[in-house]
Structure 1
Amino acid sequence: MTSVFAQEPHRALVNGVPWFDDQGQIVNAHGACVVEEEGKYYLFGEFKTDSTNHFIGFSCYSSSDLVHWKFERLALPKQEEGLLGPGRIGERAKVMRCPQSGEYIMLMHCDDLQYKDPYIGYAVSKTINGEYSFQGPLLYQGKPIKKWDMGTFQDHDGQGYLLVHHGDIYRLSADYKEAEEKVASQISGVGESPAMFKKEGVYYLLSSSLTSWERNDNHYHTASSIAGPWKKQGLFCPAGSLTYNSQCSFVFPIVQQQDTVLMYMGDRWSYPKQGQAATQVWLPLETISERLQIPSYLPSWDPLANESRVISQRSNSIPARKPFVSNRRGEKIEFLFKGGRFYIKGTSDRHGGYGRIVIADKKDRVLHQVMVDFYSKVSDDGIRFVSPSLPKGKYKVTVEVSGEQGLWYKKDGTRFGSDDYYVRVDEIGYVD
């Protein structure tokens, strides 16, 4: 549909809420990475839906400021057959530019729907935002690497590496199209979703514990060489914060004139509604010697300036009202809006369900609707939604209890997710 939404010129990355692209559609890129090319940033990730975990494609977006995103294309769509064909899963797309060939190499996890047929696959493209050509499995010693959760790392000298769950690290060939050497094996204490960066001669390896789609306290290791020895250091976020309700995916170095800002990129998964309700958490990392930390959670910030940004103030709220709290399907709160952008603050906790937010014009035509997740294992009071910009005019916004909840089970039958359907809205206001 043609969007009436526009993007604001100011830079404020808001964590844990749906982001919208230049057409007013949700930025759909999960398990993501960012690549910088000639002053522009490219975001690659899983294009999810709310109805199936089947592979749809890996998306590509571009941005000049890491906040406002333009949809480029499905960089790698579903294949007609094979490892990324019908009835398959594709996850954790990571892209690197190969210094030797100039090609862009995408590595990913391929699997069946039961996660019992894992492969590391790869695809290539001549241009960063072109359509990537799937090449099949990545080989090591002539055999496919049959692993699942993965990441990549490109060292300062251009050497590429494949990172695999539970601490396997492979050095890639000069053309990045096969694994030449396993430089580290089963590093003790390394879990899922590995991510790596290097600063001042120290390698940092981040990973999460194994709790399915649930969040947990992620941890990190350090070493002076990728081959090790690796030392487990502990957590890089406050204990019990569950890594600010996220799972690590990538660390992107934002190179500035004076310094390099290390940006943690994490996923706030929301099973089963991953397409609409899963969100991103991007935060600046700090290192002191071998110590790594994200000292505090920034609800909104400017990544290029590395400064916190306040986007909402109670004095700017639309008019004050009592909190809306309900777990009754169909119960809702409505308010009128005059254009610009608005925010919704609320509480997520283990009793939360999905809230349906609908934006309609004065003729009750629905312009946009999105599911917002009010579930989190650790209670969180904060911004749950920020709208795209709307032209001046009259709009009606509805927040409705959907009567649905995030709920899933591990293979062994362990239950995860919400125990109720609550939606709680504490404040609604204009974005400054």
Structure 2
Amino acid sequence: VGFNCYSSKDLYNWKFESIALPVQKSGKLGPNRVGERVKVMKNLKSGEYVMFMHVDTLGYKDQFVGYAVAKKITGPYEFKGPLLFNGKPIKKWDMGIFQDVNGKGYLLTHGGVIHELSDDYKSIKAETNKQISSGFESPTLFKRGDTYYFIGSHLTSWEKNDNYYYTAKSLGGPWTARGLIAPKDKLTWNSQSTFVLAIEGLKGYTYMYMGDRWSYPRQLSAATYVWQPISFDGDAMSIPNYNTAWTVDVITSEAKQKTIDHKVISNNDDRIKYTGNWKKSTLENIPVTRADDKNASCKITFTGTRIGLQTLVLPDNGYANIVLTNKKGKILVKNLVDMYSKAPTSTLVFLSPLLPKGEYTLTISVAGERPNWSDKKKNNYGSTANNITIEKLLIKE
């Protein structure tokens, strides 16, 4: 389809605005090509919106940073081709952008390289910072006070890992290694950094970490995001806990955990009807019901306004098909949910939209697929089986 544009007034309710840049009829962003990690900045001098993206083949063998321009943030954008530095494309995969308070724009590429953009943002003016790490994928940069924070991830293909960060008082460095941004072995709460959004309140800012939760090979249908508030201690940052739900106090600018006040239905509740070969077990001290048979499914009919699924994501889990229907059998929601995680974690993997109070049926079935891939060196990653796991359902009446 292309790059879609959505808008929101509260970061919770989102409205589709447009296909800002559709797939081109031919060329570098044409059919059977890849466009990802899209970012947009408004050029304060020209008023134009400039879009940046990683452009590539499906096999990731023709990578470069491309750009497009538009008069409005919603588009339509016109793809201009590769962003040039000294007349040559930036041949990198992972990229990000940063706009400083003075309006200067910067391109970030893996390794920690920072390029200053030209005044119109349509080419590279200079290399501001050289490589600071041999890895440092998914570069993410933000500024708080007089300190710059630079987040990156290790080289583990599509697999999640423990992201880490540097700080500096100048974009040209020197950069100081500060360690991990989340507890060790939590794999940055199963995500990879992509952006940090400063949410302005009356008394300051809340800084929101935004991470990609990749799901290869079903990126378009199963990949999601992780948005978490960042904590600070002096100039040290961290995401010490995973908040299933949280909110920002617009007066104090403080992030606060929010309780999901729903009725809990355990996996062994008689209201859940299982079909096929399911097995009950206790893993990570959590009672669960599991299946890997593609004919296996379970369903629950309930009266309420919303339903969610919390489960134990595991190294041998795969994809689950989730379908929510109303009393007449009309499909309201149909999702492919990734239940794989290298690090076992109990987490919310599905939450329906808020619906009018009524009778609904949720069906969960084994998709018979799993996240699994190999990198350029033929190292294998991902799940070892197609299991799906049911821990508990959450129902809002």
Give the TM-score, by structure 1 length. 0.83
State the match for 1:285 in structure 2.
230
CA contact (8 A) 2:114 2:130 kept: yes
Cα distance, 1:86 vs structure 2:
2.1
State the match for 1:311 in structure 2.
260
Distance of aligned partners of 1:323 and 1:235 in 2 relative to their CA distance in 1, 3 Å threshold = closer
CA contact (8 A) 2:266 2:391 kept: no
CA displacement, residues 253-293 of structure 1 (integer Å, 9 cap, x when unaligned): 11111011111000111111222221110011123333111
State the match for 1:171 in structure 2.
116
Say which SS state the counterpart of residue 276 (structure 1) adopts.
helix
State the match for 2:78 in structure 1.
133
Within the candidate set 371, 374, 398, 2:363 is matched to: 398
State the match for 1:381 in structure 2.
346
CA contact (8 A) 1:98 1:158 kept: yes
Cα distance, 1:341 vs structure 2:
0.7
Distance of aligned partners of 1:138 and 1:400 in 2 relative to their CA distance in 1, 3 Å threshold = same
Determine whether 1:234 maps to 2:143. Answer: no
RCO comparison, higher one (Cα < 8 Å, 6+): 1
State the match for 2:390 in structure 1.
425
Within the candidate set 137, 141, 149, 1:192 is matched to: 137
Distance of aligned partners of 1:268 and 1:312 in 2 relative to their CA distance in 1, 3 Å threshold = farther
Determine whether 1:366 maps to 2:321. Answer: no
Q: Distance in 2 between matches of 1:220 and 1:138?
A: 26
Distance of aligned partners of 1:239 and 1:187 in 2 relative to their CA distance in 1, 3 Å threshold = same
Say which SS state the counterpart of residue 111 (structure 2) adopts.
helix
Cα distance, 1:323 vs structure 2:
4.2
CA contact (8 A) 1:75 1:132 kept: yes
CA contact (8 A) 1:245 1:268 kept: yes
Say which SS state the counterpart of residue 338 (structure 1) adopts.
strand
State the match for 2:157 in structure 1.
212
Q: Distance in 2 between matches of 1:390 and 1:401?
A: 25
Q: Distance in 2 between matches of 1:275 and 1:86?
A: 15
Distance of aligned partners of 1:304 and 1:109 in 2 relative to their CA distance in 1, 3 Å threshold = farther
Q: Distance in 2 between matches of 1:217 and 1:380?
A: 15
State the match for 1:342 in structure 2.
307
Determine whether 1:122 maps to 2:71. Answer: no
Moved more, 324-333 or 94-103: 324-333
5 Å matches for 1:230-309?
230-303=175-248, 305=250, 306-309=255-258
Cα distance, 1:318 vs structure 2:
10
5 Å matches for 1:46-85?
56-85=1-30
State the match for 1:39 in structure 2.
none
Cα distance, 1:370 vs structure 2:
1.0
Cα distance, 1:96 vs structure 2:
0.7
| One-letter amino acid matched to 1:187 | I
CA contact (8 A) 1:317 1:430 kept: no
Cα distance, 1:395 vs structure 2:
1.9
CA contact (8 A) 1:320 1:427 kept: no
| One-letter amino acid matched to 2:191 | S
Distance of aligned partners of 1:259 and 1:243 in 2 relative to their CA distance in 1, 3 Å threshold = same
Pairs aligned (count) = 377
State the match for 2:277 in structure 1.
none
CA contact (8 A) 1:189 1:232 kept: no
CA contact (8 A) 1:111 1:119 kept: yes
| One-letter amino acid matched to 2:311 | G
CA displacement, residues 131-175 of structure 1 (integer Å, 9 cap, x when unaligned): 111111111122222222100001111111000111211111111
Distance of aligned partners of 1:375 and 1:330 in 2 relative to their CA distance in 1, 3 Å threshold = same
Q: Distance in 2 between matches of 1:335 and 1:373?
A: 20
Q: Distance in 2 between matches of 1:326 and 1:312?
A: 28
State the match for 2:280 in structure 1.
none
Larger Rg: 2
| One-letter amino acid matched to 1:336 | T
Cα distance, 1:315 vs structure 2:
5.5
Q: Distance in 2 between matches of 1:396 and 1:233?
A: 48
Listed as ranges, the gaps of 5+ residues in structure 1 are: 1-55
CA contact (8 A) 1:324 1:333 kept: no
Listed as ranges, the gaps of 5+ residues in structure 2 are: 271-286
| One-letter amino acid matched to 1:58 | F
Give the TM-score, by structure 2 length. 0.90
Q: Distance in 2 between matches of 1:145 and 1:421?
A: 39
| One-letter amino acid matched to 1:310 | T
Distance of aligned partners of 1:240 and 1:384 in 2 relative to their CA distance in 1, 3 Å threshold = same
Determine whether 1:329 maps to 2:274. Answer: no
| One-letter amino acid matched to 2:258 | R
Q: Distance in 2 between matches of 1:272 and 1:148?
A: 18
Moved more, 357-366 or 170-179: 357-366
